[in-house]
Amino acid sequence: MKAKEFKPLPAQPAPVSTIGVIPWLRNNLLSSPFNITVTVIIVAALLAIVPDMLDWLIFSANWSGETQAACVKDGACWVFISAWSQQIFYGSYPDGEIWRVNLSLLLLAGVIASSFALPARLRNKVSVPAYLCLPFVCLLILDGSYIGLKEVTTDLWGGFSLNVLIAAASIIIAFPFGFLWALGRQSDMPFARSVSVTCIEFFRGTPILALFFMGSVMLPLFFPANVSVDKLLRVWIILVLFMSAYMAEVFRSGFAAIPKGQYEAADSIGLGYWQKTLLIIFPQVIKVSMPNILATFVMVFKNTVFLLVIAVPEMLQVIMAALSNSNWLGGHAIEGYLFVGFIFWICCFSMSLLATSIEKKLDTSHKN
């Protein structure tokens, strides 16, 4: 018998390149007849729309000037935005006092930054009280009458800073409330549990607009006749209650994510209920709920625009008032709404990116 002879297989052709521009195009845009058609249609549509849009938005837009007369070119009239920029951001807050709004915004930024920058030991002791005090400090600064500054009544507050501050103030105060309601919902006490469930379901099931409406027409009836509560304060109360219900649900899913062993371990070393909840469970709940907390904040931030329905001068309401100003009747609605939409989009999108990145950092599972 002859020994088997070694015969190499014929050489294969080199694989079609998978890197570079042309293979990328082939794989991602032109992989099948259907994809080719879709790509052609989309590219044609983009070519038809995008140049005109960019032209209107940027190239032939009017960028400089003071009055409507400066808008001579065909494109968008951004002069409208720049002329009204102070009202858009600060409402009718008096000119000389705007530093107080800026100071409040800076304080908010500072408190948020400090909660990330402080060392872990100080964080709970400094940041938590700082957060809880912030809304009241801002109220004192903005109102001014209690700390010896010129009083600025709340009907003058407005603009984008109002959207930011009232959303932040609501979610901060909603934190402890939401936490209490979530604890109540999963407690063993039947009465406390049913009260919590009722609160949560009522405020989650009611349209926010109906709540604002109730805040403006019904809440005044609830207070004694000689007490008149400021409109913005009523709105704040409503927003806090609304947010508390949503935060309670966020915390509930956070509680569910904590392993049972954590509760049992805390019990076994003899911690009391509040020690167990605040020292062991709460920090872990905050950690796992962070993406959802951010999502809830995005929601309330968007919902602050609904305040225009009860004539609170938030950003969109200011724009709409500016549109009906007799010097600006040139139909700049699209510019105004695009600008508001853009500002909100920037804020909400960056927060949702932050939420996604936190979620990715927390997610250590190896699914798929």
Partner 1 sequence: MFSKKTTEQIECENRPSHLGIKSFYNNPKHRGWIYQSFLFLFLIGFFYSIVSNTLDNMSAQGIKSGFSFLNTSAGFDVLMSLLPFQTTDSYLKVFTIGILNTILVSIIGIIFSTLLGFIFGVAYFSRNYLIKKIAIIYVEIFRNIPVILQVIFWYTVFNALPIARESLNFGDTVFLNVTGLYLPLLVGESGSGLVYSALIVAIVSVFLVKRWATKRQEKTGEQFPILWTSLGLITGLPLLALLVSGVPFHFDYPALKGFNFRGGITIIPELISLAIALSIYTGAFIAEAVRAGIQSVPAGQTEAARSVGLKESKIMSLIVVPQSMRVITPMLNSEYQSLVKNTTIATAIGYPELFTVFAGSVLNQVGQAVEIMFMTLVIYFCINMTISFVMNRFNKRSEITTR
Which residue stretch of 103-111, 131-139, 221-229, 261-269 sits at the interface with partner 1 (rule: CB under 8 A)?
221-229
Which residue stretch of 31-39, 117-125, 153-161, 283-291 sits at the interface with partner 1 (rule: CB under 8 A)?
31-39
Burial 234-257 (b: 16+ CB within 10 A, else e): bbbbbbbbbbbbbbbbbbbebbee
Nearest to 179 by CA among 304, 301, 303, 283: 283
Which residues are registered as beta bridge partners of 160?
none
Structure tokens at 86: 């102070």
Q: Is 306 in the site for partner 1 (CB under 8 A)?
A: yes
Q: Is 195 in the site for partner 1 (CB under 8 A)?
A: yes
Which residue stretch of 124-132, 146-154, 235-243, 308-316 sits at the interface with partner 1 (rule: CB under 8 A)?
308-316
Q: Is 311 in the site for partner 1 (CB under 8 A)?
A: no
Pick from 72, 147, 210, 269: which binds partner 1 (CB under 8 A)? Answer: 210
**What SS3 state is found at 77?**
strand
- The residue assigned the tokens 């009241």 is 136
Q: Is 192 in the site for partner 1 (CB under 8 A)?
A: yes
Q: Is 269 in the site for partner 1 (CB under 8 A)?
A: no
Pick from 53, 54, 122, 209: which binds partner 1 (CB under 8 A)? Answer: 209
Which residue stretch of 125-133, 230-238, 263-271, 304-312 sits at the interface with partner 1 (rule: CB under 8 A)?
304-312
- 48 versus 217: smaller Cβ distance to partner 1: 217
- 190 versus 259: smaller Cβ distance to partner 1: 190
Nearest distance, CB of residue 283 and partner 1, angstroms: 23
Footprint (CB under 8 A) of partner 1, residues 312-351: 316, 320, 333-334, 337, 340-341, 344-345, 348-349
Which residue stretch of 124-132, 167-175, 181-189, 229-237 sits at the interface with partner 1 (rule: CB under 8 A)?
181-189
Q: How far is CA 141 from CA 97, 111, 155, in A?
A: 10, 16, 15
Number of residues counted as binding partner 1 (CB under 8 A): 54
Nearest distance, CB of residue 204 and partner 1, angstroms: 9
Contacts of 315 (CB under 8 A, 6+ apart): 88, 159, 160, 162, 163, 305, 340, 343
Other CB atoms closer than 10 Å to residue 143's CB: what's the count? 17
What would the DSSP string read from start to end of 264-286?
HHHHHTT--HHHIIIIIIHHHHH
What is the CA angle 302-169-178, rounded to 5? 85
Contacts of 202 (CB under 8 A, 6+ apart): 245
Which residue stretch of 135-143, 167-175, 218-226, 357-365 sits at the interface with partner 1 (rule: CB under 8 A)?
218-226
Burial classification of residue 314, based on how many CB atoms lie within 10 Å of its CB (0-12 exposed, 13-18 middle, 19 or more buried)? buried
Pick from 76, 168, 303, 322: which binds partner 1 (CB under 8 A)? Answer: 303
Contacts of 114 (CB under 8 A, 6+ apart): 126, 127, 130
Q: Is 233 in the site for partner 1 (CB under 8 A)?
A: no
Burial 17-28 (b: 16+ CB within 10 A, else e): eeeeeeeeeeee
Q: Which spans of this chain sit near partner 1 (rule: CB under 8 A)?
A: 27-29, 31, 35, 38-39, 42-43, 187-192, 195, 205-210, 213-214, 217-218, 220-225, 273, 298, 302-303, 305-306, 308-309, 316, 320, 333-334, 337, 340-341, 344-345, 348-349, 352, 367-368
